[in-house]
Every structure is written in C-alpha cells, then in structure tokens.
Amino acid sequence: MIRYAARRIALMVPTLLGVAFLTFFMLRVIPGDIVEVKLRADGGHVTEEILHRERARLGLDQPLPVQFGEWMKGLVTLDLGNSMWTGRPVKEEIGARIGLTLQVAVMAAIISVLIAIPLGTISALFRDTWVDYVVRIFTIAGLAVPSFWLGMMTILMLLTVFHWSPPVTYTSFFDDPLQNMAQLIWPALAVGYRYAAVVARMVRSSIVEVMREDYIRTARAKGVFERLVVSRHAMRNALLPAITVIGLEFAFLVGGLVVTEQVFNLNGIGRLFVEAISRNDFVLIQALVMLLALVFVSMNLVIDMLYGVLDPRVRYG
Amino acid sequence: MTRQDVSRRAVLTILGLGALPNAVLAQGTPQRGGTLTFAVAAEPPTYDLHQTSTFAVMHRVAPHYSTLLCYEPGNYPNIVGDVATSWEIAPDLLTYTFRLRPNVRFHDGTILTSEDVRASYQRMVTPVPPVTSNRQPAFEQIASIETPDPLTVVFRMKQVDASILDTFASPWNSIFSAARLAQDPNFPVRNIMGTGPFRFVEHVAGSHWVGQRFDGYFREGRPYLDGFRAITMSPSAMVNALSGRQIMAEFRGFTPNERDLIVRALGDEARVQESSWMLHMIMTINNEKPPFNDARVRRALSLALDRWGGSASLKRISQLGEVGGMVRPGSEWSATPAEMEKWPGYGRNMAANRAEARRLLKEAGVENLTLTLMNRNHQPYVTAGIFVVDQLRQIGVRAEHQQVELAAWYAAQGSGNFEVMIDSFTQFSDDPTNVLVKYISFDRAEIAVARATDRELDALFDAQAKEIDKAKRKQIVRQFEARAMAEAHAVPILWWQRIAVMNSRVRGWSMAPTHMIYQDLRDVWLAPEKS
Amino acid sequence: MSVTVRAVPASAPLRRRNPVLAFIVAQPLGAAGLLVILAMGTAAIFAAVIAPYDPEAIDFLAMLQPPSWAHPFGTDAFGRDILTRIIYGARTALTIGFFSSFLGCTLGGLLGTASAYFGGVVDLVIQRFVDVILSFPIIVLALVVLAVMGKTSVGGIDVNLIFAIAIPIIPRAARVIRAAALSVRAMPYMDAARAGGYSSGYIILRHMAPNVLAPFLILLTAYVAQAILLEASLSFLGLGVSEPKPAWGLMLAGDSSNFYREAPWMILFPGLAISLAVFAFNLFGDSLRDWFDPKFHS
C-alpha cells in the first residue's frame, strides 16, 4: 500500500510538470501584457520607455527559458512570486480567497450527498417505474440548467418574493455563522443541484449494477428482507463509484465556481482567476492553474487510496 | 411602483450641478463621528498616486494625502490652495511661487516643508528608475524647482503653459515625505504616509481598505468622520449593497437603471446627483490601415452615427449621455449645439448624413466595406459597440464586433493591430491641453492611437496650449475641433453621464464632472440615522 | 463534464426491423429528447423564415418591453426581440455545440484508438498527455486557450471558440474510446487479423472502428450538451460569442445582469433555452447509451 502510494505520488510529478510547462508557454503567446493595462488604464499617459522600465522591473524582458527556470525554482521552494497587478505575494492573494471558495464547494458537496444518495437509491429500487422517471428527469435537468442562471433566478426570486438580497460582503463563518450562511448558502445551492444530479445518477446506476450481482440474488433467495439487502450489501458496494464522483466533482467545483462567483459577487478563487486573465497577470494565473491542477491530481490519489480501504477486492500491484 | 414614479422621485432628490454652488452648506450643520463605508469596483494595482491613473487607487488613497492646490469643494473648476496658502505668478508667466501653510503635519508627526513638495514634484518631473511617473508629459514645461526657505517653493518654467494651475491642483500630485523618499524612492508604492485627513489602517486584498481620522490634520475641526472603509465589490453588487444599506456610497457612478433600483429601495434615503462626465467614448480609426488612410472613408464612418438619436435612447439604459465634441459638453471650452451641428456626423438630418456617407464610400471605391470593430468586453463599451455596429450597417458597412479582454485590447491599441476601435478618454480637468492631446499626431502623443500625422492639428494644439487669453484660446479650440472632425482620425461617439447615488446620510461631499477629485473626504460627514 | 460510457459491441439494437420505431418504444424519454433536438435544429436552419424580427437591428422605440403579442418573449435594452434572438441563438448553440463535440470526440477517439492499438510507449505518452489536460479545470482550460488564440470568426462561425471547447473534450473522449478499443483488441479475431499480415491502418478501420462507433456516438451526443453549456458560460463571462451576434449565454450577460430585476424576461427565456437544449441532448444521450447496452435489454 505504501509502495503503491509512493509510486502514485511519483507519477504526479510528470503530470504537474506538464501542466506547468503548457501553462507557462501558452500564457506567453497571449497578446498584450499587464504593464499596459496597469499604466494606460483610465487615460494614463505614459511613454514607451516607462513601459519598458516597468516590464524590466517585473522580469518580463528576460528570455523565456530563464523566466521558466525562475518560476520552477520558485515552485520547488514554495515561493509562488508576487502578483504582477498588486505586487503582493501570490500566496497572500490566494490565501485571502481560498477559504470562501472551499466553503462553498464543501457546502455544495454536503448538499449534493444529502440529496443524491436517497434519490439515487430510490430511483434504482423503483427502476422503470414513474418514480424512477421523475427522479431521472430531475437529475438530467440538474445537468442541463446552467448553475449561473440558476443563481440569477435565485437572486431574482429572493428579491421579488422576500424583498431581500443576500449580503454582499464576506463574513467568516467563525465570526458570524448566520451572516456567513445567508451569503454562501445560495451559491452552494445553485452549484449543489448540478453536483447532486451527477452523484445521484452514479448512485442509481451502481446500485442497479450491484443488485444484479450474484451475492445479492443469493441474499434475496435466503429470504433476508429486501430493505436489509439494499442497505447492507448494495449500498456498500455502490458507494465506491459514488465516492469517486463526489471527489472528482469536488475537484472540478473548485475551478468551476468561476462563473457562479461572478453572479453572486463572491470574492473567491474563481473571480481572482477571471480578473487575472483579463489583466494577463501571468504570475497569478500560473499559480492558480497549478493550485487547481494539484487539487485535482491529489483528489484522484485520495480516491484511489480510499478504494483500497473500502473495497478489499482491490489489490495494489 | 412604476418606472415613472421612480424617476419622478429621483428627480426630486437630484442636486443639479451648478444650480446649487453652495450645496455643501445646504446640507445642514456638519456633525463629528461615524465611519463612512463606500464601494470601489476594482483592486488597486499600487498605493502610489504618481504611478497610476486608475480611480481604484484614487478613491482609496486620496483621503490620506494632500496636494499643493486643489479644486474648491462645491465650486468646480475654481482652484484654491491645499497645503499652499497663497501663490504668485510672475508677469512673464514663467515663475510660480507658492507659500505653504506652516502647520501641516505628516501622519508620523513630522512637519511638512518645501523640501517635501520639491522631492515629490521632482519624482514626477524626472523619475529615477525604478520609479515611473504617469505625470511626466504634463510637467514637460517645468525647468526647475527651488526651495528658498522651508515654507516657499518656486517653480520655474521653460515655456508658458496655460494649463499649469490645473496641473498643480491635480489630485494625482500627492505630496510625500522627502525623508521617506530618500530612504526608498518607491516607499509610497506599498506604504501610505501623507498629510491628508485620514491615516491608513489596513488593506485586505480583494476585500477592504480602512482609514482612520488623523487628529493632527492641518484644517481645524476636520475631518468630521472617525474613519472610512472602502469595500471592493462588483458594480452589480453595489446596487444591492446600497439598497440594503450595507454601504453608504459609491463615488464613480451608476447606470440610470441602477439609480432607479436604488432609489426604489431606499426611497427618500437615496440622494442622486447627476452631471456630465469628463469621459467620452471615441471611435478610433486606424489611419495606417487602408482604406482608412482615406479621409473620405473615415468621414463616412463618422457620418453614419446618429449621435442625437443614440444619446436620447442610450442615456436611458447606460452611462452614455450627451452629444459633445472633443471637450466636455457644458464645460467652459465646449462648442454650442448649433456649432456642433456643422461637423460631419453631428447634423440632425440623418437621412442626409447617411446618403452623404454612402456617396463618400462610393467615391472612395469601397461600397461594400467590411471592417473589424475592436472593443473590450465591459459595459458600457459593449453598448457603444452594439450601437456603432448597428449604425454602420445602415450605410452598408458590415462591422465584425470583436470584444476582447482588457489586456488584449490594450495590446491591439498599442501595436496598431486593429481597424476601428471603441476607445475612451478621461482626464481630471476640462483643460483643452489635457483632452485634445488624444487627437493630435501619433508621433507627438502615444495616446493618439488613431496613428495619424496631421501637422495642422499639431500647430493648433500648440497654439492653444500657450494662449492665456481665454476667448482667443476657445477660438483655437473650435478650429482644432472643426479640422479634427473633418479629418475624422478619431471621432467622439458620445460623452458619459455621471450619476452618483448614495445614502442621504452622506453629507458634505461635492459632485463634480470627474470622479477623480473631491475624494479626500475632508468635508464629508454623516447625518444621524433616521429612527 | 463527466460522461460514463461502457464499452460494448455494436450489435444490440439491430434486432427489430424498424430501429427508429423500436427506439421510440423502448426509450420514450430519449425519443422526446430527439424530438426537441430536431425541433431546435429546424428552427436554427429556418431561422430567417420563422423569426419575426431582425436579430441584430436596434429598435429604440421598443426598448425593454415585457412579453406581448408583438414580442412574445419581450425585448431587450436595445429593443431587439428576444424570441428572435433565441431562435437565431439556436443556430449559434447547435453549430458550436456540434462542431466542438465532433472535433473533440474525433481527435480524442483517434488518440484513444491509437493508444489502445499500439500500446507500449505510444500508450504511455498519450496517457500522460491525457493526464495533463485532464488536470486543468475545464473552464480554466477554455479560458486560457481563448485568451491565447483570441477570437477569430470565419464566415460568422467562431472557430477559436470551437477549438477552445473541443480541447477539454479530447482527453475525456480519449479515455473512454481507449477503454472500448482495448476490449476489442483482446478479441481473438484481432490476433488472427494481425497474423494474416494486414496493415495496422486496415485493422483499425476494419475491426476497431466499427466497435468503438457506439461509444463514439454516445459521447458525441453527451458532449454536444456539455459544449452548449460551456459556450453559454464562456459567452456569459464575455469570452465567447461577441455582441450583437445572438447567443443564449450572451443574452444572460451584459445588460441583462443590469436589467434582470425589472425585466426578468431578459434572462428567463434564454436560460430556459439553454436548459431545454442541454436537457434534450442529455435525455437522448442517456437513452442512446441504454439502447446500445445489451444489459438493458435482458
């Protein structure tokens, strides 16, 4: 198990290196740079020479391999550099926002599990009846409705029905849980619906699959109550694919909140990313892409490890 | 409540600019105390006013600093002293001598002297790397800065500059401590230490910026506020935040629709102030790209725009507002509507304009012209773009609208890799030198991005810059506009309207046609909450 | 953007004489989805005939009108008819959705098949590449690709947008097709073919391609739905289709985010259009999968 884990972690290195390489060189092809946005915005009147000087200060005049080397050196020593827009350490910029994004993602995950597991199970048990059809339509709709639109409709509904709009400034959960929830529950619901739909579909199909397996038939033939069969055997084995999906979707969500954060005016990682892109803040974009890739790759690793713990049939070679 | 009710109520709360020159006094007796929370739409790229031109810095940093001169609150564009008590101008207009107030303290307790003024201005006139200065071109005519005694500063000019007093009153020309600059020329980039009414407390990236009353401020009894808190949020969130009384103000401006929403939510607790804005939308035509090197083609594009009709409708849905020339409509330098109607594309008869446009295109041999219209993907630029595409279509020109990210847009602008673009221009004053620079030859000013060479315009520009007689200067400005409109290297589309909406508890703040001035908050106070 | 497809031989659905009728009987939900897709496709093709107004022309006399007989879905801030823009928007959505899904699934399919057939170093290299691309969050990848390539449209079609949406699809399709192709590769007739001295190209075309066709079709349908969603998100962020071209995601952005509180029809109908299209493709894709999967016919 430990050897397997070590090998898996070692395999992460080339993947992350590939992401780094691709990101770095793709970004250098983008037309325009942050210096112009910074100095020419709002009618700024600056000469070419000033632009050159600022570029030199940010190290943008160095040859690309040198810049890449510098960045890699920084990554290894966990120094992500400074944002080219604010000049503050990227670590601080991300640190100030990651809490919010993670909280929304975790809340969405909880919502999705609470909805998806009972719904998926019911749907599987009543397969091909009207119950199943209703649940399936509900879940397919969850995949179809854009979460940012759902967010806009939610705000609209709160405004027209309750004449109330969620608070716009972030309060930490530990300072004022109520205020915090009043702001973040809505985006969590908006993305949670889609999340729940994905998980429910997975739960349904894996239960359907498991129910067909021989040992379930044996259990049934033995006269054990159907409900018990479901809860004991089927649920446990159906859990694995569900966990996979929950984990993968969580990793996606951290990056996928980009649009929803925009709608709810959340100061999270997604908005930081969109802003960084619009200004060509290379240092920040690179750091964010690496962070999101790391979350994704580690989530995969965790899922694989969990398989080993939950399912004794899985052997690590 | 219907739309009409809303606007009627809004009108009641409008303080017309100029209608009430003493608006500040008309708001009751100022009271001490309270924290003003207001919204700012973007994060500041630096803390250093010398090295930026974005309001994102101005709105947060202005309360911490003083300037040599400033615009008189409630009486724009009259200029008064800030840390200067008086000034003398030599008869040859080449020497400016300022007397400083004796009791001006920095937030660290030190006293401001002429050396601080000299060091700060020198930093902008001749920045030494790594310092950069956004102000350098405005100071071209300054030859030297002298400090005969601790309370006297003397500026000597190379040439007469008709705009120099506006430059001394510029909100960007903050005064730093000479001692701090000597230790680190880039000290103000990351640190705040000035003589303004508020001292700096903290800045949390992406979240907020906090200032606290400076008890040693040189104006007796000011500021009124205990402090301020600037919160970063998107424009759409500001509407909700103001409506929900989570913030009390925003100092840039809202769209008419946003104004109505806030007024509907706050009722008479909303205060609306409207003005024209020193900010205008420009259709910039790349003179280096055929067929746009042909003045007939450029004039045809300008003729296609129904500015009067567009203004009437677009000002209901966006921040676009009045029809104007190259200086702000309504300012002392502006042309009258009758004068404007003589320019191509400003005539009221659109059928005639469009026929003329088609004729010009035919004459130039480009009847079925297609072009790319470069634009950024923000409001109200997109609105202007949609309008221009529609107008061009009516003279048979097909425009492909390309909305790109800000950085890509600046790249296209800087490299000249565009055909026609939606550009904009803003300055802190109406002074013609400040604004007409956008329309002169490219080799004279890098911001004249139409990439034209027009020596006649350059000559007119130089002539007005030196002309001290206002009437004569205005005459030259008219000539400049007539020439620039006919050549149409770049033409104004519409000017913006500034709609400031705040909670009526906010008092003592002065509305102006620019969002860059009156932001030091020294006279702002909070009326008690209604029970 | 997760689509799960089992690798199955493409034999199951050919049992009845009329496959269309059989599909409708066995998969009524899928048939309903298909019907919606066909209706939208027809609307897209004949937009110029069906739509009551010009989708791009400004009409200042009709600004922000609520739904009425003249404008069933209301008008936007420029007085443009929302129904018309939704009908033309179907053209944008379906074109971009189909082409990016097709491009992504085809490139992914080729990579996956090559990976499975050749194995060894080829497989290893392709799989690392797939890992790398998969590690980028989808929207982030599309954002970066669009920022790099800029916006270019050829003949009114946003080519770069199609590329940007196709790229995240490639590794996902490659994974699924590789798995499908691997199961075929293990079949005895493949060895026979190889022993018979047939060229790799022939074997791939003759034996592998038909067997990965079913998962390919299922993927194609499912990713059209995902591509439509992604296009809507990108356009909403101002990175997709440019105004004044009608596109559903774009109709939710810009002025709509300013006006939707008092003109809710501006966001209601475009949002419903996106949801309905994606819903239909998902429904159809799901049923297609069940239909091809022999287990569901037992």
Q: Can you tell me the mean pLDDT for C31-36?
A: 91
| Residues contacting residue C226 through CB under 8 Å, at least 6 positions apart | C1, C3, C101, C169
What is the value of ipTM here, to two decimals?
Answer: 0.83
Predicted local confidence at residue A30, as pLDDT: 75
The pLDDT of residue A42 = 61
Does B255 touch chain C if contact means CB atoms closer than 8 Å? yes
Min Cα separation A116/chain C (Å): 16
Cβ contacts of A272 on chain B, cutoff 8 Å: 206
Identify the residue whose tokens are 């496709």: C41
The CA-atom distances, in angstroms, between C243 and each of A233, C153, C248, C252 are 55, 13, 11, 12
Q: Is A280 close to B44, i.e. CB distance below 8 A?
A: no
Strands B84-89 and B95-100: antiparallel
Asked if C257 lies within 8 A of B382 by C-beta distance, the reply is no
**Predicted confidence (pLDDT) per residue in B15-32, tens digit:** 333 334 444 445 678 899
Contact status of A278 with chain B (Cβ, < 8 Å): yes
Q: What is the pLDDT of residues A14-31, one digit of tens each?
A: 888 988 888 888 888 777
Please name the residue ranges forming H helices in C186-208.
188-195, 200-203
For residues A37 and A34, what is the distance between their CA atoms, to the nearest angstrom?
5
The CA distance from A175 to the nearest CA of chain C, in Å, is 31
Residue of B60, B406, B431 to mutate, interface with A, max A Cβ within 10 Å? B406
Q: What helix, strand, coil percent values describe chain B, rounded to 5?
A: 35, 20, 45
Strand pairing partners for B152? B99, B149
By mean pLDDT, which of A225-229, B410-414, B417-421 is the weakest? A225-229
User: Mean pLDDT over residues B358-372, rounded?
Assistant: 93
Average pLDDT over residues C253-275: 85
Distance (Å, whole) CA A77 – CA A80:
9
* B78-87 pLDDT, tens digit each: 999 999 999 9
Beta pairing class for B152-157 and B142-149 = antiparallel
* B257 interfaces chain C, CB cutoff of 8 Å: yes
Nearest in space to B405 (alpha carbons), one of C241, A261, A280: A280
Using the Cα atoms of residue C207, residue C184, residue C19 and residue C93 in order, give the sign of their dihedral. Answer: negative
The count of other CB atoms within 10 Å of the CB of residue A176 is 12
CB contact under 8 A, A255 and C279: no
To probe the interface with C, which of B234, B239, B375, B379 has the most C CB atoms within 10 Å? B379
* Partner-chain residue, chosen from A42, A165, A170, that has the shortest CB–CB distance to B55: A42
Q: Is B401 helix (H, G, I), strand (E, B) or coil?
A: strand
The residue-averaged pLDDT of A93-114 equals: 90
β-bridge mates for residue B423, sequence order? B282
**Residue with the two structure tokens 């425009």:** B399
Please state the rounded mean pLDDT for residues C121-127.
88
pLDDT tens by residue, A123-155:
888 887 888 889 988 998 998 999 889 998 998
Nearest to C3 by CA among C215, C239, C191: C215
Which of B219, B273, B235 is CA-nearest to residue B63? Answer: B219
Q: Are C259 and C77 in contact (CB under 8 A)?
A: yes
Picking from B380, B259, B240, the residue whose alpha carbon sits closest to that of residue C255 is B380
Measured between its terminal Cα atoms, the distance across chain C in Å is 30
Q: What would the two tokens of residue B127 be?
A: 């920045």
* Partner chains of B (3+ C-beta pairs under 8 Å): A, C
Gap between the Cα atoms of B522 and B225, Å rounded: 8
User: Which of B51, B128, B134, B431 has the highest number of chain A CBs within 10 A, making it the mutation to test binding with A?
Assistant: B134
d(CA B378, CA A41): 13
Closest residue in A to B405 (Cα–Cα): A278
Neighbours of chain C (3+ CB pairs under 8 A): A, B
Evaluated on CA atoms B382, B387, B389, B392, the torsion sign reads: negative
* DSSP symbols for A47-94: -HHHHHHHHHHHTTTS-HHHHHHHHHHHHHTT---B-TTT-SBHHHHH
Torsion-angle region of B253 (φ positive above 0: left; ψ -120 to 50: alpha; else: beta): left
Instruction: With beta carbons under 8 A apart, name residues in chain C contacting B390.
Output: 56-58, 78, 244
Tokens of B224: 């009124």
Reported as half-sphere exposure (CB side, CA atoms, 13 A), residue C140 has a value of 31
pLDDT of residue A121: 87
Return the C-alpha torsion angle B321, B325, B326, B330, nearest 10: -60
How far apart, in whole angstroms, are the C-alpha atoms of residue C117 and residue B389?
52
Residue among A159, A259, A277 whose CB faces C233 most closely: A259
Selected for mutation to probe chain B from A267, A271, A288 (highest B CB count within 10 Å) is: A267
B255 contact residues in C (CB cutoff 8 A): 258
Render the burial of B416-449: b for 16+ CB within 10 Å, e for the rest: eebbbbbbbbbbbbbbbbbbbbbbbbbeebbbbb
Residue whose C-alpha is closest to residue C277's, from C95, C51, C52, C28: C95
DSSP string, C95-157: HHHHHHHHHHHHHHHHHHHHHHHH-HHHHHHHHHHHHHHHHS-HHHHHHHHHHHH---EETTE
Query: Does the distance separating the beta carbons of C140 and A273 come in below 8 Å?
Result: yes
Looking at CA atoms only, how far is residue A233 from chain B in angstroms?
49
Of A298-307, B477-486, C35-44, give the lowest mean pLDDT range.
Answer: A298-307
Residue B203, helix vs strand vs coil:
strand
Q: Measure the CA–CA gap between C221 and C292, rounded to whole angstroms.
A: 13
Q: Bigger pLDDT: B461 or C16?
A: B461
Cβ contact (<8 Å) for A46 and B446? Answer: yes
Helix (H) or strand (E) holding B294: none
Contact C151 B402 (CB under 8 A): yes
B481 interfacial to chain C (CB closer than 8 Å) = no
Contacts of B393 in chain C (CB under 8 A): 56-57
pLDDT band at A249 (very low <50, low <70, confident <90, very high): confident
Burial label for B262, CB within 10 Å (0-12, 13-18, 19+), is buried
Q: Which residue has the higher pLDDT, B113 or A127?
A: B113
Q: In this structure, what token pair is assigned to residue A200?
A: 């429910």
Q: In Å, how far from its chain's centre is CA A110?
A: 14
In sequence order, the 6+-apart residues with CB closer than 8 A to the CB of A83 are A89, A90, A93, A276, A281, A283, A284
Q: Is B2 on the interface with C (CB under 8 A)?
A: no
Q: How far is it, in rounded angstroms, from Cα C36 to Cα C278? A: 10
Task: Classify B230 as helix, strand or coil.
Answer: strand
Q: Using the beta-carbon criterion (under 8 Å), do A255 and C137 form an inter-chain contact?
A: yes
Of C137, C150, C257, the CB nearest to A292: C137
Segment B218-235 mean pLDDT: 90
Cross-chain Cβ contact B237/A265 below 8 Å:
yes
Exposure b/e, C37-74, CB count within 10 A at least 16 = b: beebeebbeebeeebebbbbebbbebbbbeeeeebebb
Residue-level pLDDT at B196: 94
Helix (H, G, I), strand (E, B) or coil at B276: strand
Average the pLDDT over C212-222 and give the result.
84
- Among A218-227, B195-204, B338-347, C227-236, name the one with the lowest average pLDDT: A218-227
The pLDDT of residue A41 is above 80: no
| Predicted pLDDT of residue A311 | 64
**Nearest-angstrom CA–CA distance, B138 and B167:** 7
What count of CB pairs under 8 Å joins B to C? 70
d(CA C112, CA C133): 14
- Distance, in angstroms, between A43 CA and closest chain B CA? 5
Say if residues C273 and C86 touch (Cβ distance below 8 Å): yes
Give every CB contact of residue C149 below 8 A, 6+ residues apart in sequence.
C160, C163, C164
Closest by CA position to B518, among listed B96, B55, B84, B98: B55
The whole-number pLDDT of residue B20 equals 40
- Residues 6 or more apart whose CB falls under 8 angstroms from that of C272 comprise none
Torsion angle in degrees (nearest 10) through CA of A207, A209, A214, A216: 10
Of B407, B415, B437, the CB nearest to A280: B407
Q: Average pLDDT, whole number, for chain A?
A: 81
- CB of A165 within 8 Å of a chain B CB? The answer is yes
Mean pLDDT for C128-153 is 79
Q: How far apart are CA A249 and CA A19, in angstroms?
A: 20
Whether B189 and chain A come into contact, CB under 8 Å, resolves to yes
Chain C contact set for B260 (CB, 8 A): 262
- Which of A45, A97, A168 comes nearest B447 by C-beta? A45
**In the predicted model, is pLDDT for residue A1 greater than 80?**
no
Which DSSP string do the residues of A198-243 spell out, in sequence order? HHHHHHHHHHHHHHTSHHHHHHHHTT--HHHHIIIIIHHHHHHHHH
Q: Compute the nearest-CA separation of C209 from chain A (Å).
A: 27
Q: What is the mean pLDDT of residues A262-267?
A: 83
Contact A45 B133 (CB under 8 A): no
How confident is the model over C271-281, as a mean pLDDT?
A: 94
- Residue at token pair 């910074």: A38
Residue with tokens 């050396």: B115
- Please count the residue pairs, one from chain A and one from chain C, whose beta carbons lie less than 8 angstroms apart: 136
Among the listed residues B185, B69, B64, the one whose alpha carbon sits nearest the alpha carbon of residue B119: B185
> What's the gap in Å between the CA of C30 and the closest CA on chain A?
11
| Inter-chain touch C271–A152, beta carbons under 8 Å | yes
Q: Which chains touch A (3 or more CB pairs under 8 A)?
A: B, C
Query: Looking at the predicted structure, is the pLDDT value of residue A86 above 80?
Result: no
CB B31 within 8 A of CB B525: yes
Chain A contact for B414, CB < 8 A?
yes
Cα B64 from Cα B212, distance rounded (Å): 9
Do residues B519 and B58 touch, judged by C-beta distance below 8 A? yes
What spatial distance separates the first Cα and last Cα of chain B, rounded to whole Å?
24
User: Which residues touch C268 (CB under 8 Å, ≥6 apart)?
Assistant: A153
Q: How far is A8 from chain C (nearest CA, A)?
A: 13
B313/C contact by beta carbon, under 8 A: yes
B-contacting residues in A 97-136 (Cβ below 8 Å): 97
The tens digit of pLDDT for each residue in C67-107 reads: 999 899 999 889 899 999 999 999 999 999 999 999 999 99
Of B134, B408, B413, Cβ closest to residue A44: B134
